[in-house]
């Protein structure tokens, strides 16, 4: 098996996204890196004021995580659907964002970031998945679809 077949990703999947299924929530996510140039540009912009601290290894971990959450919410999460009465509806469960139960929240950077802050393990899982180039390989996604 060639290295190309093991590591070549589908650039369109990297920008159009893949669906990450969390049961009653489905998140469509572009890749964090690769062909998703928006991610790299936004991360570069947001971290620019902290370059010295990053190089010195003295950047506050909470600040670093906060920046990464915002950048992923802005440039990686493309869609968010929640299952309501056996139907998929665009929106975020307010309880996931740490708010009282009720009507779904709009899919926005602020609400996505609120979910990440309220459910840090979800953020860590999503971050690992969107940085995994293997998930954006064409043959992987064709197998998942049963093609």
User: Hey, how many other C-beta atoms are within 10 angstroms of the C-beta on 20?
Assistant: 16
Res 147: pLDDT: 40
Q: What is the mean pLDDT of the chain?
A: 90
Q: What is the pLDDT of residues 86-103, one digit of tens each?
A: 999 999 999 999 999 999
The string of DSSP codes covering 73-128 is: HHHTEEEEEEEETTEEEESB-GGGGTS-S-SPBP--HHHHHHHHHH-HHHHHHHHH
Average confidence (pLDDT) per 10 residues, the chain, 147 residues? 73 91 97 93 94 89 94 98 96 97 96 98 97 78 47
Res 12: pLDDT: 85
State the residue range of the domain holding 81. 3-145
Task: Put the strands of the sheet holding 18-21 in their side by side order.
Answer: 18-21, 25-29, 77-84, 87-90
User: Hey, how many other C-beta atoms are within 10 angstroms of the C-beta on 4?
Assistant: 7
Question: 3-state SS of the chain: helix, strand, coil percent to 5?
Answer: 55, 15, 30
pTM of the model: 0.86
Count of structural domains, the chain: 1
């Amino acid at each position: 098996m060639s290295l190309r077949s093991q590591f070549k990703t589908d650039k369109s999947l990297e920008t159009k996204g893949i669906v990450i299924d969390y049961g009653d929530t489905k998140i469509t996510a572009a890749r964090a890196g690769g062909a998703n140039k928006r991610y790299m540009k936004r991360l570069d912009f947001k971290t620019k004021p902290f370059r010295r601290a990053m190089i010195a290894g003295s950047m506050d971990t909470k600040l670093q995580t906060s920046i990464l959450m915002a950048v992923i919410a802005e440039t990686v999460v493309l869609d968010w659907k929640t299952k309501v009465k056996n139907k998929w509806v665009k929106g975020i469960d307010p309880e996931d964002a740490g708010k009282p139960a009720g009507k779904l929240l709009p899919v926005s950077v602020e609400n996505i970031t609120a979910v990440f802050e309220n459910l840090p393990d979800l953020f860590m899982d999503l971050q690992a998945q969107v940085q995994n180039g293997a998930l954006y390989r064409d043959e992987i996604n064709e197998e998942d679809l049963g093609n």
